[in-house]
Amino acid sequence: MYQSFKLLKGTQRGSDNLRPHDYLDDLESFFYVLCHVCFLYNGGKRMDPFSTHDILADWNDGKPAFKLDFMMAPGHLLSPYIHKSNCATAFYGLFIHLQKMFSPVLNSVARATGWPPAPMKRLTYEEHRSFADKSCSEFLGHVDAAINEIEQIRKDLTSAATTTSAPPSPLPVILGSASSQPSPSSALLPLPSAYPSSSSSQSSKRRLSTTSLPDAEQDKTEAGGGDRDAGHEVYLHPEGSGQADRKRVKGE
């Protein structure tokens, strides 16, 4: 259910042009686990079986086309509990940013297994480590941005000085935020519209313990001027392929 698109494609014929299992497969799989929880979260109560959710039931079939369709889809079937909460915008923003992060990866895999095939570029150790650092930093940056937005919402609700108590937001609990106490709610209070920048997230760097992350300026230079997808496209493009094809690639 949680396997990456590339690993699922690797079980099919014509997969010789794919790179071996790498860090992007692990990050993508974690995203699917997060989706599972967010699709079925019910305020801490026992969650329904995965078979009750259309997307999760499709993923369990093991067909890569379902993962590709999900990454390119504009909306998500989040649980009613999350959808009706004050923090819904933070969850939807997190999903959109992670989809944008992984969609170039899935497109590259689809091109490598299509016809004519466009083999994925093999990486040197230095390239692999550099891209792994940036990808992990970007992923954690999006997660931290969502948690920061939720914490700001909680502060705004507390300042409204209402007497109604709301249940704790599920995202900090799911992702390990230190703050998990309930706060007052106000249905009339507008939610913050600005989504925090992932590049300035410091807590993501503190939680990343495998390698030290490059500084922000180096990341921006290596990523081609600061484009969020550039760091992936640099090595996901087949050698000599030119500009990335951003059109949706239909699954098999």
Q: Which pLDDT value is given to residue 6?
A: 94
Q: What is the pLDDT of residue 160?
A: 83
pLDDT score, position 162: 59
pLDDT of residue 75: 72
Residue 215 C-alpha from the chain's centroid: 22
- pLDDT at 195 (0 to 100): 39
Low-confidence stretches of the chain (pLDDT beneath 50): 178-252
CA distance 89 to 82: 9
Position 167 scores a pLDDT of: 62
Task: Tell me what pLDDT residue 41 has.
Answer: 95
With 0-12 / 13-18 / 19 or more C-beta atoms within 10 angstroms meaning exposed / middle / buried, residue 150 is buried
- SS3 category, 4: coil
What is the number of residues in the chain? 252
- Residue 173: per-residue pLDDT: 63
